[in-house]
């Protein structure tokens, strides 16, 4: 998939969380008709393995409510504060574990089986892709290895 203007890296943090800001970007872009169709199946929490679903379940707030709050407006930090007040309270340790879990998803776990096919399908064979979000990053034209993206989490 090409770079999508307005869609940030999976590694970008809002508050203590990676990926959360990207989910908000997808919500906003989809509502504006600017999110490519290839991304639509990954929206929401309807499928167990989507990153949006995992993020919402970790935060304890259904995707539909996060979507509604996001589209009502406000900064990412305001939306995250709202999520904290309506969801599950998380410690710094739990947030650290979330970030490391998402950063390593697809590496020696239940999602490992899908990663090789995604790499092949996207024409990224030969890239040093070890995780699902590394695949997303390369697929959108970023190089998480050269950027050492994991160091910011």
Query: How far does the chain reach from its first CA to its final CA, in angstroms?
Result: 24
142 neighbors 112 (Cβ within 8 angstroms): no
CB atoms within 10 A of CB 33: 6
pLDDT digits (tens, 9 = 90+) for 101-117: 999 999 998 889 999 99
Band of the pLDDT at 2, cuts 50, 70, 90?
low
Question: H or E stretch including 17?
Answer: strand 17-18
| Predicted TM-score (pTM) above 0.85 | yes
What's the token pair of residue 119? 């790499």
pLDDT digits (tens, 9 = 90+) for 80-105: 999 999 999 999 999 999 999 999 99
Domain residue spans of the chain:
1-104, 109-146
What's the token pair of residue 55? 């993020």
- What pLDDT was estimated at residue 85? 97
């Amino acid at each position: 998939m090409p770079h999508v203007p307005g869609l940030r890296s999976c590694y970008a943090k809002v508050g203590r969380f990676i990926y959360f800001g990207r989910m908000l970007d997808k919500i906003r872009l989809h509502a504006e008709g600017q999110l490519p169709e290839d991304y639509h199946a990954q929206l929401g929490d309807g499928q167990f393995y989507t990153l949006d679903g995992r993020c919402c379940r970790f935060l304890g707030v259904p995707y539909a409510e996060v979507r509604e709050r996001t589209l009502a407006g406000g900064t990412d930090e305001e939306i995250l504060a709202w999520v904290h007040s309506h969801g599950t309270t998380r410690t710094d340790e739990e947030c650290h574990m979330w970030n490391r879990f998402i950063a390593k998803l697809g590496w020696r776990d239940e999602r490992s089986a899908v990663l090789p096919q995604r790499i092949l399908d996207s024409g990224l064979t030969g890239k040093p892709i070890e995780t699902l979000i590394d695949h997303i990053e390369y697929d959108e034209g970023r190089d998480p290895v050269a950027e050492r993206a994991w160091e910011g989490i």
